[in-house]
Amino acid sequence: MNSHLSRRALLGGAATAFTFAAMPRVFAQAASPAPTGPFAQAPLGYAFDALEPNIDAKTMETHYLRHHGAFITNLNNFAKDNGVLASAPVEKLLAEWQQLPEAARMGIKNNLGGHANHSMFWQIMAPGGAKTPEGDLKAAIDRDLGGLDKLKADFNAAGGRVFGSGWVFVTVEKDGKLALTTRPNQDNPIMDGKMVLFGNDVWEHAYYLKYQNRRAEYLANWWNVANWSKIGERFAQAKAGTLKI
């Protein structure tokens, strides 16, 4: 390619990007595919570019549509041969995963965990959400996790120590206390009888396009998009026993 063509290609790319940026956000936020079984994705609730620059639009689009979407497709395929998947809530299936049909148990467990983890993840991020915890949630973080600054430091350190792929979570334990924990792969603390208050995805697909190998930088920047309003709602629901995935 000579320099003239290269320049034209660049200009063409810029024009395309401008057209996309000018589109109303409702168009930029592509709908998830129509479900073909009992499992479906909740709407993302914001545009793919809404969390820029902390999480880039291409990562959000790929993560929501392709990665989470694959769990939905897989679960709907499993549901064709495993009727329990059509009749039980996700939370119950996760809590009782060891009773799933043996032939498909690990596959269903991994995809259920992936669905639950990502459903939580999209909810607890937002552009312009509350920047700090308030009320009962702030009190619980101070009491159980040493305050917000210590929580962030410990959460980032724990996320950095996850070897390979996994998640870092803050859970609500059976006694109502908050705890910091990690899980490998797509495991989810509901599988161990806990409730998930919030968590961050440290699989490379969550950050690699923008941050490459700099997971620590992703973890640090991620707090800029944490939605403390929603996390506070989830805490109230956890205490009331009404928290969903």
- Residues making contact with Mn ion (CB under 5 A): 67, 201, 203
CB of 120 vs Mn ion, minimal distance in Å:
11
**CB closest to Mn ion, residue no:** 201
Taking the complex as a whole, the smallest distance from the CB of residue 114 to Mn ion amounts, in Å, to 7
Choice between 115 and 194, CB closer to Mn ion: 115
Nearer to Mn ion, 203 or 222 (CB): 203
CB 92, min distance to Mn ion, A: 23
CB closer to Mn ion, 116 vs 172: 116
Angle between helix axes 135-145 and 228-240 (nearest 10 degrees) is: 80
For residue 53, cis peptide bond before it (omega within 30 degrees of 0):
yes
Name beta bridge partners: 195.
172
Residue 236 phi, psi dihedral angles, 5° rounding: -60, -40
The two tokens of residue 26 are: 């409702």
Query: Tokens 């629901």 identify what position?
Result: 237
Closest to Mn ion by CB, 55 or 172: 55
**Shortest approach of Mn ion to residue 134 CB, angstroms?**
28
* Largest distance between two CA atoms of the chain: 67
Residue 37 CA to residue 103 CA, distance in Å, equals 20
